[in-house]
Structure 1
Amino acid sequence: MTAIVIVLTVTGVAGQYYKETLDIYPSLLKVVDSLNPNGASNNLVNWYQSSTLLFSSFLLLTIALVKRAERDIRVRCWIFLAITFLYLSLEELTSIHEQAMFALRRVFTVDELVFLEWLIPTILTAVFFLSYLNFLRSLPARIRRLLIAAGSVYVTGAIGIDALNIKLLDMLDTEITSFITSGSTAFKYALMGGIEEFFEMAGIVIFIYALTAYINSEIIDKSFVNNKKNFVFASMKISLEKTEIMRKN
Structure 2
Amino acid sequence: MKSSHNVKQSPTSSSERASVEIRLSPERIVRFLGWVVVGLAAAHFLGQFSKHVLGYGSLKGMIPLFDLDLEFNIPSLYSGLSLIGCAMLLGAIALLKKQKRDRYLRHWQGLSLIFLLMGVDEIIELHERTIKPLRNALNATGIFYFTWVILGFVLVVLLAIAYRKFTLSLPPKTRNRFILAASLFLLGTLGIELIGGYYAYIYGKENLIYSLWVALEEGLEMAGILVFIYALLTYLRSLSDSITIHFERSLSAPTNN
Is residue 130 of structure 2 the alignment partner of residue 109 of structure 1?
no
CA shift for structure 1 position 99? 1.7
Shift of 1:22: 1.6
Q: Of residues 128, 141, 144 in structure 1, which corresponds to 2:172?
A: 141
Count residues with an aligned counterpart.
210
Alpha carbons of structure 1 residues 122 and 23: separation in structure 2 relative to 1, 3 Å: closer
Q: Which residue does 2:10 correspond to in 1?
A: none
Determine if contact 2:140/2:147 at 8 Å carries over to the other structure: no
Q: 1:51 to 1:73 in 2, by over 3 A?
A: same
Indicate the SS of the match to 1:220.
coil
RMSD: 2.2
Match of residue 155 from structure 1: 186
Per-residue CA distance 1:148-179 (angstroms, 9 max, x = gap): 00000000001011122222332456xxxxx8
Are residues 1:129 and 2:140 paired? no
Which structure features the higher share of strand residues?
Answer: 2
Partner AA of 1:189 in structure 2? Y
1:139: Cα distance to partner? Answer: 1.2
**Which has more helix, going by share of residues?**
1
Q: TM-score, normalised by structure 1?
A: 0.77
Deviation (angstroms), 1:122: 2.5
CA change 1:155–1:57 in 2 (3 A) is same
Answer whether contact 2:185 2:221 (CA < 8 A) is retained.
Answer: yes
Larger Rg: 2
Partner amino acid, structure 1, of 2:133: A
Which residue pairs with 1:232 in the alignment?
none
Number of the residue aligned with 1:203: 224
CA–CA distance in structure 2, aligned partners of residues 167 and 125 of structure 1? 21
Displacement after TM superposition at 1:86 (Å): 0.3
SS at 1:164 equivalent: helix
| Bigger shift: residues 149-158 or 95-104 | 95-104
Partner residue, 1:187: 208
State the shift of 1:11 in Å.
1.8
Does the aligned pair in 2 maintain the 1:117–1:159 contact within 8 Å? no
**In the alignment, which residue of structure 2 is the partner of 1:45?**
75
Deviation of 1:46 after TM superposition, in Å, equals 0.5
Q: Which amino acid is 2:54 matched to?
A: L
Partner of 1:3: 35
The CA deviation string for residues 86-107 of structure 1, in whole angstroms up to 9 with x for no partner, is 0000100121111211333334
Query: Deviation at 1:20?
Result: 1.0
Structure 2's unaligned 5+ residue stretches are 1-32, 243-257
Q: Which has the higher contact order (CA 8 A, sep 6+)?
A: 2
Alpha-carbon deviations, 1:1-42, whole Å to 9, x = none?
Answer: 11111121122022101111224276x341111111112x10
> Matched residues in 2 for 1:58 and 1:3: separation?
22
Q: How far has the Cα of 1:202 moved from its partner?
A: 0.3
Q: Which residue matches 1:13?
A: 45
TM-score, normalised via structure 2 length: 0.75
- Name 1:93's counterpart in structure 2: 123
